[in-house]
Amino acid sequence: MTATNLALVGIGKIARDQHIPALAASDAFQLAATVSRSGGTEGVENYDTVEALLAARPDIPAISFCTPPQVRYAGARTALAAGRHVMLEKPPGASLSEIRALETLAQDNGLTLFATWHSRHAASVPAAKAWLSDKTVKSVRIDWKEDVRVWHPGQQWIWEAGGLGIFDPAINAFSILTEILPVEVHVTGAELQFPSNCETPIAGKIRMDGPHGPLVTADIDFLWEGDALWRLIVETDDRTLTLDQGGAVLEIDGIAQHAGAREETNIHGEYDGLYARFADLLDTNTSEVDLRPMVLVADAYTLGKRIEAPEFIDPTRTAN
C-alpha cells in the first residue's frame, strides 16, 4: 500500500505530542510537509503559510489542521478550495456556522472533511457504546477535571474568545457522551465561572435532559490539582457503567472489563485511530462531521449563568 502524502498545519504541543507520533506509526500516511511560522519538525519541509504549501506541493492531497480553533477556518477553506482533503483537530472550529460552511464546500467539491473527536477512539468507548445500546439510562455523571497549567502550559489562545477555556477538554467528555448514549440529550442549564481576565470559562456545572427529563450532570474544572479526572458514570436499569481515564478503562459495577482489540490506556492510541479513520474516509470518498459535542458547548454558553471568578495567572506563560 502506498502511503498518502499529508501536510500538518500548526506545529504546537498537540501536533508534537500526538499527531507526529501517530503519523510516524501510520502505514496509510506519510508526513510530507508542515506549515508553521515558528518552525516545523526536523527532516520535513516547512512552509510559512497554507497558500505557500498549496502552491509548492500539488502532490499533497490531504491536510491535517492542528492550529487553534480561532484561526483554523481560513486555512481549511483555502485547502478545500484548492482541492485538498481536510482533517480538523477538535474542536473543529470556533463556531458551528463556519464548520457547516466547510462541510458544504467539501461536499460541493467532492472532498473529504473529517471533524475529529479523538476521545471517541479511546480503547473502551466502543465497548461502552455496545453495552449501553439496549439499556435504559437513568442518570449520567461527568467529572472532567484537569490542570490547565499541565495540559495547556502558557497557551493564551485558550482564554480568548473561541478558545473554549475549560470546554476545550470538556468537549472530549461530550464527544464520548454523544457517542455512547442510546438517547439524545440537550443542555437545560449551566453555571460557568469566568476569571476576570479571561474571555472563556475556567470551571462550570452543566445540566442536560434526555427524552424524559433530567439525565446528565457535568462538573468540569481547569484548576484541578493532581492526576487528571476524566470519568463518566452511567446508571442504567440494569447495572452501573463507569468509563475512566478518558474512555480508556471500562468497569461494570466496579468490575474491570476487557477493552477489546486495542487496549492502550493513553492518548496515543486515540490518534492512531483518528488517522486510520481518515484513511477509511479517503478510500470511500466520504466525510464525517458530527457537531453534537460542539452543540452542547454552544448551548451551555447560551443558557449558562455567568459567575465571576478570581483572575487567572498562568505561571507557565512566558511574558511578551
Please give the grid coordinates belonging to residue 253.
Answer: 459495577
CA-to-CA separations, 317 to 86, 168, 312, 313, in angstroms, rounded: 31, 18, 11, 9
| pLDDT value, residue 186 | 98
Per-residue pLDDT band for 177 (boundaries 50, 70, 90) equals very high
Residue 310, Ramachandran bin (φ over 0: left; ψ between -120 and 50: alpha; else beta): beta
Q: Is 13 a catalytic residue?
A: no
Of 13, 90, 138, 145, which one is the catalytic site residue? Answer: 90
What cell does 27 get? 502505514
Give 261's pLDDT tier (boundaries 50, 70, 90).
very low
Instruction: Note the pLDDT tens digit of each residue in 4-39.
Output: 999 999 999 999 999 999 999 999 999 999 999 888
Average pLDDT for 208-217: 97
- Residue written as cell 462541510? 103
Long-range contacts of 40-48 (CB under 8 A, 24+ apart): 40/11, 41/11, 41/16, 46/11
Give the pLDDT score at 135: 97
Is 7 exposed, middle or buried, given 0-12, 13-18 or 19+ CB atoms closer than 10 A? Answer: buried
Vertex 250 angle, CA 248 and 252, to 5°: 175
Centre a 10 Å sphere on the Cβ of residue 260 and count the other Cβ atoms it contains.
13
The share of the chain scoring above pLDDT 70, in percent, equals: 95
pLDDT given for residue 113 in this prediction: 98
**pLDDT mean over 300-316:** 93
Mean pLDDT value across the chain: 94
Alpha-carbon distance of 234 to 241, in angstroms, equals 5
- Which of the 8 DSSP states describes residue 264? -
Mean pLDDT, residues 100-123: 97
Give me the residue label for grid cell 479517503.
282
